[in-house]
Amino acid sequence: MKKRFGHLPDYQQEIDERFGNFQPVKNQQTLWFHVVSVGETNAAQPLIEHYLKLGQAVLVTNTTRTGQARAKALFADKYPKLFQAVFLPIDQKYLIERFIQCNQPRMVLLMETELWCNLLECIHTHKIPLALLNARLSEKSAKGYAKFKRLTVPMLQQLDFIAAQDDATMQRFIDLGMRTDKIQVLGNVKFDITTPQQFIQQAQQLRQDWQLAQRNIVVLASTHTPEEKQILTALQTALRQDPTLLCLVVPRHPERFDEVYQSIQQLDFIVQRRSLGQTIQTNTQVYLADSMGELWLWYALAQVAYVGGSLNQPGGGHNILEPIALNVATVLGKNYFNFQTIVDEFVQQQAVLVVENAEQAAQICLTLLHDTAQRQQMNDQAQHIMQANQGAVARHIALIDGYLQP
């Protein structure tokens, strides 16, 4: 496992790149997308894909190895000449300046909320168009920025445009000092989600090969410490009494895979691991999906999903739209402030369920597994909301095109 996860062999490459030992530049005059990690990479996917298909070279910078691995998995093989993914240098002027001079991007597009003082100043100084796309700003984050307005206001003034996800985000940016003529609500590109067909087909094959047709499957997705252990503990009795019940566990961070496996073993479950090539057996109670880039597959196998990072502290939550796109009834914890506006809309229509603790999460997941009518009602409501919110990708492309015109 050490060779694949944790402090990996590519750790040194990350350190080198972030401190100035840059990769050879593949293209100049690129569209430079800065995406922090996996979530932002997935959000930017339709935008990046659109421009690569048009023959526009794209540079992606990340600040996490998981984000870079995701970007490469999406585009490196498909667009070997046009696409490059590298690590963003640390926010030091001399490094950012040299990075910009090497790459000479055509436009810089920051995803969601990624504001660094020197990065923004250097890009602005070079008169490169700079936009914050799919922007989100929670009330908590806005209060943090407000404490440092002498830094925040100049940063916002260096942005050419902010494409906000919702009215609340737009108002928070305006309150922090963003000009009203440089910000607009364009919606959330995550609603324009496209389910990868290869994972649906793979799930259908695995359902047959692993004899899953009669299994009641709940996936604990993108979990953090101590969510897996707490929810599995609450599911102990059900897992031992019901041989049809199966729990798929997908930890958010790969460096925790071994730790989570040990926790599952301590609970004395019959467990298999994806990383070892093990398959789900008829007596498997817990399957540890310790792999990268396969979350869609595990959602596609399940009837119910708990989306993690939402019961831990401080939490913040993860993307609920992926399971919803697959008609998987979705449950999450109360600490979902990173996706506040999205989740609130689904909660108001009873299209997702929010829980207070691990015991309630386990109980509601079990209830939904056995109540097909409630599951179907939730899924129907969720699909109505998804359809009503689509179109943000096209609006973002129109915005970008406006800056790319000669």
**Catalytic (active site) residue 40:** yes
The residues of the chain scoring below 50 in pLDDT are 1-7
Q: How far is CA 128 from CA 34, 85, 94, 105, 123, in A?
A: 14, 20, 17, 7, 6
- Do 133 and 109 form a contact (C-beta atoms < 8 A)? yes
Q: How far apart are CA 232 and CA 212, in angstroms?
A: 20
Catalytic residue among 14, 17, 40, 255: 40
Q: How far apart are CA 254 and CA 290, in angstroms?
A: 7
- Do 103 and 22 form a contact (C-beta atoms < 8 A)? no
Q: How far apart are CA 240 and CA 183, in angstroms?
A: 54
Which tokens belong to 109?
């597009």
> Got the DSSP string for 11-38?
HHHHHHHHTT-PPPP--SS-EEEE--SH
Q: What pLDDT, on the 0 to 100 scale, is given for residue 282?
A: 97
Full-model pTM: 0.86
pLDDT tens profile 98-143: 999 999 999 999 999 888 999 999 999 999 999 999 999 989 899 9
Short-list 228, 304, 219, CA closest to 265? 228
pLDDT tens profile 13-58: 889 899 999 999 999 999 999 998 888 999 999 999 999 999 999 9
Interior CA angle at 162 toward 28 and 172, to 5°? 145
Q: What pLDDT, on the 0 to 100 scale, is given for residue 104?
A: 98
Which tokens belong to 35?
């995406």
* Cβ neighbours of residue 386 closer than 8 Å, sequence gap 6 or more: 191, 193, 321, 324, 325
